[in-house]
Amino acid sequence: MTSTLIIRLGTIDWIDLTAPEIDPTQDFYRSVLGWSHEASTTPMGTYYIANAGGHEAAGLMASAPGQRMPPAWTVFVRVSSADDTLAAAETAGGTAVAPAFDIPGGARIGVLSGPDGAMLAVISGGPEPAADEPPLRRNAPGAVGWCELLTRDPHAALSFYDALFGWMVVRDDATGYSVFRLGDRDVAGLLPMPQEMPAEAPTHWLVHFHVADLDTAVSTAERTVGMVARPPAEIGGVRFAVMSDPNGAVFGLLQLP
């Protein structure tokens, strides 16, 4: 195993979305985030790689017939062994949703849920990344800008992700916002579920995409059958909004100063 891969262990490596209607889904994100898409045939169906500014940004795939899970963005964390991580999740109070399985390219993935029910995927193996290429190109328009866990039990989440990935939590006293950190690297955010969220809203991981102009992206999303879950706001100089796409999958938009 190379040092490049070791550095990535425990960090967010990929995101993807499974949606019932793939063509309008592609059209929506193309309009809002400027994505282009490249199709590849897999044993599980056609998988579309979203491209933002010449770099891979996310994956899209049509739902399997009869799939009951509601559409949602899935966050993947890089681990040394997907199988071992699923076993560790069970020990730490989480649940292995399904056994790990191989995907094209030599990688192996598994899906788990934390003690609060938030779903997360893990990935191991596969081709090694280039040394100068981050897993997700941050802070470029259309790319992943940030991921955060919205949970009703922050203490349980802290213990779980510390046991699973070695994540520690650092709290910003000025804003009250907490960040999962691995070594000296910020990995993701940790946010108590807002009180205005309905009781039936599940705990979940929220993916934020970087945009150059937040107001334009929000209005474009609304025109393209998206919905505003949280209007544009600002924290610490960062403007953000929360949207849902035509499938109901929730995501965030970020505009950095």
> Could you report the per-residue pLDDT of 153-196, keeping only the tens digit for each?
999 999 999 999 999 999 888 777 899 999 988 999 999 888 77
pLDDT score, position 4: 38
Q: Is residue 82 part of a domain?
A: yes
- pTM for the whole structure: 0.91
The sign of the CA dihedral 168, 243, 25, 35 is negative
Which CATH number does the domain housing residue 41 bear? 3.10.180.10
pLDDT in tens, 197-240: 777 788 999 999 999 999 999 999 999 999 999 999 998 789 99
State the total domains in the chain: 2
The pair of three-digit structure tokens given for residue 219, joined into one six-digit string: 């209005």
Of 71, 98, 125, the residue at which a domain comes to its end is 125
- SS3 sequence, 178-218? EEEEECCEEEEEEEECCCCCCCCCCCEEEEEEECCCHHHHH
The answer to whether residue 42 sits within a structural domain is yes
pLDDT above 60 for 5: no
**Assigned domain for 138 exists:** no
Cβ count within 10 A of residue 225? 14
Q: Which of the listed residues 96, 125, 154 is the one where a domain comes to its end?
A: 125
Q: Are strands 119-125 and 107-113 parallel, antiparallel or unpaired?
A: antiparallel
Sign, CA torsion 241/57/140/118: positive
pLDDT at 133 over 60: no
SS3 23: helix
Identify the band that residue 130 occupies on the pLDDT scale cut at 50, 70 and 90: low
**Could you tell me the two tokens for 85?**
């991580």
Q: Is residue 60 part of a domain?
A: yes
Other beta carbons within 10 angstroms of residue 88's beta carbon come to 19
pLDDT at 129: 57
Please give the C-alpha separations between residue 188 and each of 9, 118, 178, in angstroms, as whole numbers: 14, 14, 9
Domain that holds residue 98: 3-125
pLDDT at 1 over 50: no
Q: How large is the average pLDDT for residues 83-112? A: 94
123-152 mean pLDDT: 79
Mean pLDDT of the chain: 89
Tell me which of 25-34, 71-80, 188-197 is least confident: 188-197
With 70 as the cut, is the pLDDT of residue 63 above it? yes
221 alpha-carbon distance from chain centroid: 19
Task: Judge if 34 and 103 occupy the same domain.
Answer: yes
% residues pLDDT > 90 (the chain): 69
